[in-house]
Structures are given as structure tokens and as C-alpha cells.
Amino acid sequence: MLRDRYLTPNIVEDLKEKMVFVGGPRQVGKTTLCRDFVASFFKRHAYYNWDNRADRKDILKAAWPADAELLIFDELHKYKAWKNLIKGEYDKLKNKYRFIVTGSARLNLYRRGGDSLQGRYHYYRLHPFSLAEITKGSVKALPFKELFFSGDFFPNELESLHIYGGFPEPFIKQRQRHLRRWHNEKIERMFREDIQDLQVIRDIGSMKLLSDILPAKVGSLLSVNAIREDLEVSYRAAAHWIDVLESFYYHFRIYPYAGKRIRSLKKEPKLYLWDWSEVEDEAARFENMIASHLLKFVHFLEDYEGYKAELYFLRDVDKREVDFIVTIDQKPWFAVEAKASDDRLSPSLLYFKARLKIPYLYQVLKKEGIDKLEKGARIISASRFLASLI
């Protein structure tokens, strides 16, 4: 069963003027997106995977089929000189072919300083399925306007996402045994095939232990020093491993919003997993699912719409906290507090709204059938709120 992906029309549109790079976690559906959905808009395409020996030879010989319209390169970043290769081919053949490059490492890191590809590509981060994607919702939001909500709740779809996560294979199959095996195989392949291809990690065993303990850290302030003590390694090693795992889309961090009107924390971030189904604690998994949906929304606004959108959390020195705040150009747009079932309005939402002039407040509940206004905040079930995003 193939499901079209939310980025398909945007990538097809952008290919008319530039290359498109697609990054994202292993097994999130990058290859399917490009080979099955985007490629269907072209008469013929050619697909090359750097991990395949025959494909590597064709890439290095630049042996492209004459009748293809679209060239798709998978995991090309594993080749050290990939940027120069793709730049040369694109500059020479951009009037004949369209180019897509995909990878399970952060291709957008190459945007920084001295990028020989600058101005030649658009970059997208492909996320797992979300409630809006599987219910055929779409972004209707404009910055600093209220989110648009349909009249529907989607409790069954939300529960499936909460249990199985949004990665296509386990979500579509929806079997616990398959999910457990998929987790084990995904982690093993990430270390064996991805990380060790691009990074020199001397103590790979301890780094694997790090991936075992991170799910229990979800939603709390991340202390590298505490992790260093748990693993009995140096601070430098622990910090480096966390960075490496993040670069391969195992987890993401969000940081405290630093506003002039609040005495905010400025150090420790909070950590969440791209695959929230790994999180055992129910409340932490629900918060992670909300974080992932908001990050997908923010990345879409940045990657396609071009807004400088960011996701933060709010916490001040008096320990008042709100789980998430979305900003545009560092200006607050809306804040979100995630709760399992407590529909009493969080005092922290009202406090930060007054201090930061936040236009919109949402308290998002796992509890079903809730949608009400209270003191300028909207208390709403996640099965309606999340369907309004992307």
C-alpha cells in the first residue's frame, strides 16, 4: 500500500528551476517519495544508489541514460567528492535533466560557508507521517494568524500514530511484533551502515548505549554531564555522539526561547526522538508526538514557504514552563502546552502570553472530544489540533 507524500507537489514544482535535496531519517520514505511519486510526473527517470556497486560505477562514469528526464541520487553524500561531482553534472546538463539528491545524513549542513552548491538547490526535510498527512489535511496557516481547524476529530488515527509512530513501514503494518523488530533493525543499520560510513567512532559500543538511554530523556532538560556519568566517558565524547546521532536524524533538540521580557534559561535543550514509538513512558511519548508534528510544520514553513520559523520551549528561572512556542523571525506566533487529560488551563500559558505578547495559546490534550475557549486560550484535543498542521 503506497501513500503519496505531502512534499510531492512541492518537489515537482521546485525541480523546474533547481536541484532538490531531500534529507531525513533512514526508512522515512525518501526513496519511495522520489522514485514512485515525484518520478511519476516524468516520462522516464534513472535511479542511482551509492551503496550499489554497479550504480557507483555509472555515477563515476557519468553514464546517464539519454532518454531520462529525472536523475535520482541516493546516499551520494557518502562519496567525499559528491558536491563537486553533482555541481559539474548539474551545471553541464541542467537543461536536459532534473536532479534529486537524497540522504539519511543532514545534507543541509553543507549550506554553511563555502558551499559550492549554493544557489543551485532547494532543500527539504522529509518527516514521518503525521495526523494531517494521513487524514489528507493541509497547511492553511499564515504566520500570526490563528490556525484553521476543521470540525473533525480523528481519535483512531491519532491512537495508531501514538502507538506505532509515523514511519511508513510500522505505521502501515500496525503489528507490535513487527514494530519491535523494526526498531532493532533500524538502530543496528544506522550504526553499521550510516554512521560508520561517515564518522570515525572509536567506542561504538558506548555510543550504542547512548541510543539506549536517550528515549528515557525525552521531554526533560538534557544534561550532557549526566549522560557522560552514565556512560563513564568524557564530556567531549558524549557531546560529540549526541551531535552525530542528531545529524543522522535519530533525535532533535529544541532550545529555550530567550525573550527580553522573561528571565529565561539559556542553556539546556530538551530532546525528542524522530521515532516517538521508541518512547516507553506514555506522557513523554505524547509530548514527543506533539513536538514532532510541530517540527514538521516549522520545517515545511522554512523549506517551502521560506519563513524563518523556529520551534522553542519556554522556561524561566522560576521554573514556569510551556512545552512549545513557534516563532517567525524570532517573534512569538503561538504556544502549545501538551497534557494527557487535564483540561484545566495552565497558568504558565497565561503568564507567558502576558509577558511575551503571544497571539495564540493552545492546550493540547490526548483526551478526546475537547474544543473550548478559556481566557483567550484554546483547549483542544490533539486529534483535532494536529490535523490542522502538515
Higher confidence at residue 280 or residue 202?
A: 280
Which range, of 158-162, 229-233, 307-311, averages the lowest pLDDT?
229-233
Which range, of 25-39, 55-69, 167-181, 184-198, averages the lowest pLDDT?
184-198
Residue type at 251 in one-letter notation: H
Tell me what pLDDT residue 110 has: 46
Neighbouring residues of 246: CB distance < 8 A, sequence distance ≥ 6:
252, 253
Tell me what pLDDT residue 106 has: 66
| Set of cell numbers at residue 136 | 489528507
Question: In the predicted model, what is the mean pLDDT of residues 133-156?
Answer: 86
Whole-number Å distance between alpha carbons of 327 and 324:
10
Which range, of 15-19, 258-262, 364-368, averages the lowest pLDDT?
258-262
Which range, of 59-68, 106-115, 178-187, 318-327, averages the lowest pLDDT?
106-115
Tell me what pLDDT residue 80 has: 87
Q: Has residue 1 got a pLDDT over 90? A: no
* Residue 70 contacts residue 46 (beta carbons within 8 Å): yes
Q: How confident is the model at residue 307 (pLDDT cuts 50, 70, 90)?
A: very high
| Set of cell numbers at residue 350 | 497565561
The DSSP letter of residue 171 is H
Burial 314-323 (b: 16+ CB within 10 A, else e): bbbeeebbbb
Q: What percent of the chain has pLDDT over 70?
A: 95
Burial 353-390 (b: 16+ CB within 10 A, else e): bebbebbbbbbbbbeeebeeeeeebbbbbbbbbbbbbb
Higher confidence at residue 52 or residue 197?
A: 52
Q: How many residues does the chain have?
A: 390
Residue 190, SS3? helix
Q: Has residue 207 got a pLDDT over 60? A: yes
Residue type at 359 in one-letter notation: P
Q: Has residue 325 got a pLDDT over 80? A: yes
Average predicted confidence (pLDDT) for the chain: 92
Question: In the predicted model, what is the mean pLDDT of residues 205-211?
Answer: 90
Label residue 142 exposed, middle or buried (CB < 10 Å: 0-12, 13-18, 19+).
Answer: middle
Tell me what pLDDT residue 112 has: 46
Q: How confident is the model at residue 16 (pLDDT cuts 50, 70, 90)?
A: very high
| Set of cell numbers at residue 71 | 536523475
Residue type at 68 in one-letter notation: A
Q: How confident is the model at residue 87 (pLDDT cuts 50, 70, 90)?
A: very high
Whole-number Å distance between alpha carbons of 210 and 51:
27
pLDDT tens-digit series, residues 108-142: 554 444 457 888 999 999 999 999 999 987 667 78
Tell me what pLDDT residue 111 has: 45
Tell me what pLDDT residue 306 has: 95
Which residues, listed in sequence order, are joined to residue 185 by a DSSP beta bridge?
none
Tell me what pLDDT residue 113 has: 42
